[in-house]
Amino acid sequence: MPSPQLAIVGGGQLARMMQQAAIGLGVRIRLLAEAPDVSAAQVVPDHVVGDYTDLETLRTVVADAPVVTFDHEHVPPEHLQALQAEGHACRPGPHALLYAQDKAEMRTRLEALGAPCPRNATVSSADDLVAFGFPAVLKTTRGGYDGKGVWVVRSAADAQEAFASGRPLLAEELVDFRRELAALVARSPSGEVLAYPVVESRQADGVCAEVIAPAPDLDPELAAEARALAERIATELDVTGILAVELFETADGRLLVNELAMRPHNTGHWSIDGAVTSQFENHLRAVLDLPLGATDPRAPWSVMVNILGGAVEDLEAQRAVVLGAEPDVKIHLYGKSVKAGRKVGHVTAYGPDLDDVLARARRSAALLTDGVTHD
Ligand code: ADP
C-alpha cells in the first residue's frame, strides 16, 4: 500500500467520520485501532490493531506518515514527544493536548489568559472541600468523559465516592446555567483560524442528547464573544485541528468555559450535513496545513440528535424504515453493536423552520432507536 499522508490514533466514530472526509479530500490514512472490529477499522483498510499506550506500536503506525492526529486525547504525552523528536508532526501537539487531558491544568492556563471560568480549586481532602464551600461540582482532573468522573456534592458526606477514587480532584462552583453552548474552531499550523456558528447542546444523564445550530435566540454579542474566545484559546494554546470549547451561558447572561476538547466534537457533527465544510474535513485540512473551508451553515437551522442504544437491535435494517418516513434526514451509523445508552450514531435534519427541523430530527431518532416516534 502507498504511504499514508496522515496517521490517526484511535478507531472510534470520530476517526470513522475523518475517513469519510479523507475520501473527499483524497487523503490516505493509516489507523491505529484498539480492536479489529472497532468503528473506524471497518472503513480504513490500512490499519494496525494495537495499544496506543505502547510506544513501539505507535512507531509502527506512524512509520512512514509525516503527520499524526487523534480520535481521542489519551495518548501519553511522553510518547508524543518521542514521535515528534523522530520527525513526525503531532497535531495537536502534546503541549496543547495537556489542557484537554487535565482539567486542573486547563483551569490554571485559562485563568492566566483571562478566560472566564467557574470559581475552582484543586482539593485533596474533605477539609479542603469544606473550605471551598457547597454546593460544588467535583471532577477527576483526568480520564472523565460523558459525565463519568463528575459529582455534584452538597456536603462532605456526598463527596465520599469521589474521594474514594483516590484521584486528584478539581472542585468548581455549581454554575446556575441557562444552557450549554459550544464554540468550535479549526486552526492550522500556519495560523489560519475559522470559527463555526456557536451551537446549543442539550444533555441527558451527562451525555449530549441533541445539538441545535446555531444556538436559538443567542444574543449576537455573546455569540461573537464565544467565537472570539475559542479563536483566542486555540491560538494561545497553539492547538492544531479542531478545538471545541464547551461553555455555560449563565442565568445572568455571561459565558463561562466548562472544558476543552482538541479533536472533532459531538457538538460539531451537525456540520457534516449542515455546513459548507464539515468539522471532520476542516480537522484534516488543518492538521495537514491545507487552506480551511468555509464554516458557514448551508441552512438557517440544523439539528443533530444522538442515537443511543435502545430497543432496536438491527439499526441497519431500521435505517430503511426511517428513510421511508423521513427521506431528507441524514442518518449516520457508527458500525457499533447496540448496548443500552451507548452512542451508536446520530441523525441530522436541516431547513428553514426550527420547529419543523427539531421535530423531524427527534422523530427520526426515536424511530431509529425504539422503532416508534413517540407522537
Ligand atoms: P465530562 O468530561 O464528563 O464531559 P464535564 O466537565 O463536561 O465532564 O461535565 C459534564 C456535565 O456536568 C456538563 O456538561 C454539565 O452539564 C455538568 N457540569 C460540569 N461542570 C459543572 C459546573 N461547574 N456547574 C454546573 N454543572 C456542571
Average pLDDT over residues 168-176: 96
How far is CA 102 from each of CA 109, 188, 246, 334, rounded to the nearest angstrom? 11, 23, 15, 28
Q: What is the pLDDT of residue 168?
A: 83
Is residue 192 in contact with ligand 1, taking CB distance under 6 Å?
Answer: no
Q: Does 72 have pLDDT greater than 70?
A: yes
Quick: pLDDT tens for 346-356.
999 999 999 99
Report d(CA 270, CA 358) in Å as an integer.
13
Average pLDDT over residues 127-138: 96
- Which domain range does residue 160 map to? 119-173
Among the candidates 139, 173, 207, a domain finishes at 173
Q: Is 97 exposed, middle or buried (0-12, 13-18, 19+ CB in 10 A)?
A: buried
Q: What stretches of 263-354 adopt beta strand conformation (E)?
A: 301-308, 330-333, 343-351
Angle of helix 103-113 versus helix 220-236 axis, rounded to 10: 110
Which ligand 1 atom is the nearest neighbour of the CA of 174? 24
Report d(CA 6, CA 46) in Å as an integer.
11
Quick: pLDDT tens for 322-344.
999 999 999 999 999 999 999 99
Among the candidates 70, 90, 110, a domain finishes at 90
Q: Does 69 have pLDDT greater than 70?
A: yes
Report d(CA 249, CA 303) in Å as an integer.
19
AA letter at 136:
A
Report d(CA 70, CA 269) in Å as an integer.
16
Q: What is the pLDDT of residue 144?
A: 77
Q: Do 165 and 184 have their domain in common?
A: no
Q: Do 232 and 345 have their domain in common?
A: yes
Hey, which residues does 33 pair with through a beta bridge?
Answer: 49
Per the structure block, which three cell numbers stand in for 363? 422523530
Report d(CA 36, CA 16) in Å as an integer.
13
Q: Does 146 have pLDDT greater than 80?
A: no
Q: Does 375 have pLDDT greater than 70?
A: no
Residue with cell 441533541: 210
Residues of 208-246 as b/e, b for ≥16 C-beta within 10 angstroms?
A: bbbbbbbbeebeeebbebbbebbbbbbeebebbbbbbbb
Q: Do 215 and 323 have their domain in common?
A: yes
The residue whose C-alpha atom lies closest to atom 2 belonging to ligand 1 is 145
- pLDDT band at residue 148, thresholds of 50, 70 and 90? confident
Q: Do 190 and 307 have their domain in common?
A: yes
Pocket test for ligand 1, best of 73, 254, 258 (most atoms within 8 A of CB): 258
Q: 141: domain CATH number?
A: 3.30.1490.20
- pLDDT > 70 fraction of the chain, expressed in percent and rounded: 99
| Residue 302: inside a domain | yes
Q: Do 167 and 182 have their domain in common?
A: no
Q: How far is the CA of 147 from the centre of ligand 1 (A)?
A: 6
Q: Do 339 and 236 have their domain in common?
A: yes
The domain total for the chain is: 3
Quick: pLDDT tens for 203-245.
998 899 999 999 999 999 999 999 999 999 999 999 999 999 9
H or E segment at 122? Answer: strand 120-123
The residue whose C-alpha atom lies closest to atom 8 belonging to ligand 1 is 147
Report d(CA 33, CA 51) in Å as an integer.
8
When the pLDDT of each residue in the chain is averaged and rounded to a whole number, the result is 96
Quick: pLDDT tens for 250-296.
999 999 999 999 999 999 999 999 999 999 999 999 999 999 999 99
The candidate with the shortest Cα–Cα distance to 171, out of 210, 213, 121, 206, is 121
Quick: pLDDT tens for 33-60.
999 999 999 999 999 999 999 999 999 9
pTM of the model: 0.97
